[in-house]
A and B are shown apart, each in its own frame.
Chain A
Amino acid sequence: MEKKEAQLQKRLRDGDRKALEQVYIQYKDAFVAYLSDRVIVRDQLEDLYQDTVVSLFQNFVLKQLELESSSIKTYLFAIGKNKAAAHFRGPQLVSREEIEPKEAIYQIEKENLSEEQLALKKAFERLSDSCRQLLRLHYYRGLTDKEIKKMTDYKDINTIKSSRSRCLKKLKSLIHE
C-alpha cells in the first residue's frame, strides 16, 4: 500500500476530522463525475456525497478499518453507489463481491431511530462537553474503561465508572425535562 494512503487510513481510524475534509476535497470531482449521469439534480449529488464521506469516516472510526484489497477511493465509491441506489430505489449497483465481508458498510440513519432514541438524542445534545466526551468514548468508540483511562485525565477506572453513571443519570433526567 502506498505510504500516503496508509497514513490517511490511519488518520481516519483516529477520527482526525481534518482527514474527513481531506477525503471530501480529494475525491469530490471524481465522485461527481462518476455519479452525475445517475443522479441528475446537482444539489442531491452534493448531499449524497457529503453523506457518503461521513459514512466512510464513521466506518473507519467505528470498525478501526484497515483496507487491504481496496483503497479509500474504491470504498468511498462503493458506499456512494449503494446510497444512490437506496435513495433512488434503483437496482443495487454494487455486487457483494466488491467488498470484503469485514469491510461491509455499517449504516444507521436518523429514520431508523425509535421515538425513545430520538428523545435520547435531543437530551444528549444538551449534556455537558465532558459527559458527551465520556459517553462517546464508551458507546461510540466502543472503548473499555481501561482504554479510556489511558487516553484521558481520569484518575482511575472507578472514577470513570462513577462519572459515566452520573452522566447517564443526567441524560435520563434531561429526557423528561
Chain B
Amino acid sequence: MNKQDDNTELFHKRMLSLLSDEEEQAFAARIAAEEDFAQEYQEYKSLAEVLIVQEGEELKKQLTTLSSVASKSEPVWWKAAAVVAILFGIFAVYQWAPGEDLYQDYFDPYPNVLVPTTRGQDSPDSILQRAFSKYDREDYQGASVLFEELLKQNPSDSIQFYWAMTLLNTEQNQKAESVLKELMEEFPQNEFKAETHWYYGLVLLKNKETEAAKDAFKRVVEHPGTFKKKEAQELLEQLP
C-alpha cells in the first residue's frame, strides 16, 4: 500500500515545525518504531528542501530583474518627464487650450513599471506576464481583457490601475473614470496614488468635468512625490 499520500501534510508540517507538542511526540514515536516511515520522511524532507532552495533562487532572480529594470528605467523616465514638463511650461505661456486639447497635450501612456517582460519564464503568473507583455507592445485592447480577468481572480490595486490605463488608451473614458474612482475609494493608500489622481483628473477634463478635475490635480500637487506635480500646477493655473 502506498502510504505516501496520507503522510504529505504530516511531513510538510513536521518539516516546518508546525506540529503541536502532542503531534510531535506521536511523530517521534513512529519514527523510532517504523523504519519505513522514517525513511519515507527522510526522502520527503530531502527533496522538499531541494525544491525550497530551487524555488528561492527563481524568486530571487525575479527580484534581481525587477531591481535592474527599475534602476535602469527610472532615471530615463524622470529625465523625459522633466523635459516634457519644461516644454509644457513654455507652451503654457503662449496658449490656453480647453479640456479636450489639454487632455491631448498632457496625456501620455503610463509605462509598465510593475512586471518586466521576459521570455521563456516558467511562471505560474502567465496571465499577468501576458497582460504586461501586451501592454508593453501597446496592445491595450488585448491587455485590457487580461487585466479584467486577473481582477476577477484577485482584487489588486496595481492591476486595477493598469486596467484603467488600458481603458484610457482605448478611449473608454467613462469606464476609465469609474474604474479610477473606485480605485481611490477602495484603496486610498495604493501604490500609484499620485498617478491615479493625475489620470483621474485628465479623464475628468476630457469628460468636461472641470471642477472635479481641478480637485484631482490639487491632490497631485499636494502629494509628497514629484510625479506630474509641475504639470498639475500648470493645469490648475490654466483652467477657468
Interface residues of A (CB under 8 A from B): 4, 7, 11, 14-18, 20-22, 24-26, 46, 50-51, 53-55, 57-58, 62-63, 102, 104, 106, 108-110, 112-114, 116-117, 120-121, 124-125, 129, 132, 135-136, 138-146, 157, 161
Contact present for B154 and A50 (CB under 8 Å): no
| Nearest neighbor of A160 in chain B, beta-carbon distance | B5
> Secondary structure of the A side of the interface?
helix
The closest CB in chain B to the CB of A24 belongs to B63
Question: Closest residue to A57 on the B side, CB-wise?
Answer: B59
Interchain pairs with CB closer than 8 A, number: 126
Bound: A157/B60 CA distance, A: 33
Chain B positions within 8 Å of A139 at CB level: 44, 47-48, 51
> Looking at the complex, which one of B6, B44, B49, B59 makes contact with A20 (CB distance below 8 Å)?
B59
Residue B76 interfacial (CB < 8 Å): no
Indicate whether B95 reaches chain A with its CB closer than 8 angstroms: no
Q: Which of B123-131, B163-171, B199-207, B208-216 binds A?
A: B123-131
**B17 contact from A4, A54, A106, A144, Cβ within 8 A:** A106
3 closest Cβ pairs, A-B complex: A142-B12, A140-B51, A139-B48
Contacts of B83 in A (CB 8 A): none
Check A63–B16 contact: CB distance below 8 A: yes
Chain B residues within 8 Å of A18, by CB: 114-115, 125, 128, 156, 158-159
Contact, CB under 8 Å: B52 / A20? no
- Please indicate the chain A residues that have their CB under 8 angstroms from the CB of B57 in the complex: 110
**Interface residue tally on B, bucketed by range:** 35 or more
The smallest beta-carbon distance between A25 and chain B, in angstroms, is: 7
Q: Could you name 15 residue pairs across A and B whose Cβ atoms are closer than 8 Å?
A: A17-B59, A20-B62, A21-B63, A21-B115, A25-B66, A102-B18, A110-B53, A117-B46, A139-B44, A140-B51, A142-B11, A142-B13, A142-B48, A145-B5, A146-B5
Known: A51-B60, A58-B55. A63 touches B191 (CB 8 A): no
Q: Is the CB of A113 within 8 A of B17?
A: no
CB distance from B100 to the nearest CB of A (A): 35
Q: A22-B158, A50-B60, A54-B56 are in contact. Are A116 and B46 (CB under 8 A)?
A: yes
Contact bitstring B1-38, A, C-beta under 8 A = 1, else 0: 01001101101110011100000000000000000000
A74–B189 Cα distance when bound, in Å, is 18
From B70, which residue of chain A is reached at the shortest CB distance?
Answer: A25
Q: Is B172 in the interface zone, CB < 8 Å from A?
A: no
Closest-by-CB residue of B relative to A59 is: B16
Task: Give A116 to B49 CA distance when docked, in angstroms.
Answer: 12
Taken together as a complex, chains A and B put the C-alpha atoms of A54 and B66 apart, in Å, by 13
**A55→B12 CA distance, assembly (Å):** 17
Q: Please tell me which one of the listed residues B44, B122, B157, B190 contacts residue A132 in the complex, with CB atoms under 8 A apart.
A: B122
Q: Is A54 in contact with B63, judged by CB distance below 8 angstroms?
A: yes
Chain A nearest CB, measured from B72 CB (Å): 14
